[in-house]
Chain A
Amino acid sequence: MYQKILLPSYFKKIGWWILIPTTLVGIILFITGVENAPSWMNLHVFAFFNEELLGETRLFTVIQTNITATVVSIFFIIGGYFVGFSKEKNEDEYIAQTRLYALLWAVKVNYILLIISLLFIYGLSFLYVMLYNMFTVLVLFIFRFNFMLFINAKSITGEK
């Protein structure tokens, strides 16, 4: 059946080319710390809302900040979207169902993990939970969907 909401299948390849580098940069950024991000990424940007720690809150203003994390996050989401929501080369209704089930699974597992985090992680450490949680649905979904496609493809080998 025709799926209007999915991107053409070549977007999946483009998606991997965006997702893998941004994942690596993201990991490096996490290890080295955002405060050690390259200074040439310090730019003046427009902000709807900016609240400095121990500072004043400003609305609709131009601020100077390091945009490395912003750029990495946006490209990660775009890459992840391309990978997860492109048509497969042999797209059909069974794959469409597999995709929906994977999405359902990802949302469920994501919230189970969030409940566990809420129960057992407190204080400033919870900021890390919120940071991860921005991307976990997408990551879990991509992992689950591709895993199920792999299982489906494997289950037919040897049979005529």
Chain B
Amino acid sequence: MKNNIKVQRAIANLTQEELAKLVSVSRQTINAMEANKYVPSTVLSLKIARVFQKPVEEIFFLQEED
């Protein structure tokens, strides 16, 4: 799974730290997701989508191998 959290963050003008606080995870988690090292849980995906006020599908995308 891929995501465009970094882009969405830039649009919303949020730092990793600020986004981390808004969805109550550590900054490492946001960083790992942006580096595609970590696939978030459904709960966290929905929370992130809520922060950016966009549907989940506009932030997270399936890849060929998924």
Contacts and interface: CB of A to CB of B under 8 A. Distances in A.
Interface of A: 1, 90, 92-95, 97, 152-153, 155-156, 159-160
B36 interface: no
Interface residues of B, number: 16
Interface of B: 15-16, 24-29, 31-32, 35, 38, 40-41, 43-44
A95 B43 contact: no
Given A155-B31, A156-B31, A95 B26 contact: yes
B26 A1 contact: no
B15 A160 contact: yes
A159 B26 CA distance: 14
B31 A93 contact: no
A135 to B, nearest CB: 29
B28 A152 contact: yes
A92 B31 contact: no
Contacts of B16: 156, 159-160
Given A155-B28, A156-B31, 14 more contacts: A1-B41, A90-B26, A93-B43, A94-B28, A94-B29, A94-B32, A97-B38, A152-B28, A152-B32, A153-B28, A155-B32, A156-B16, A159-B16, A160-B16
A95 B40 CA distance: 12
Contacts of A155: 28, 31-32, 35
Nearest to A93: B41
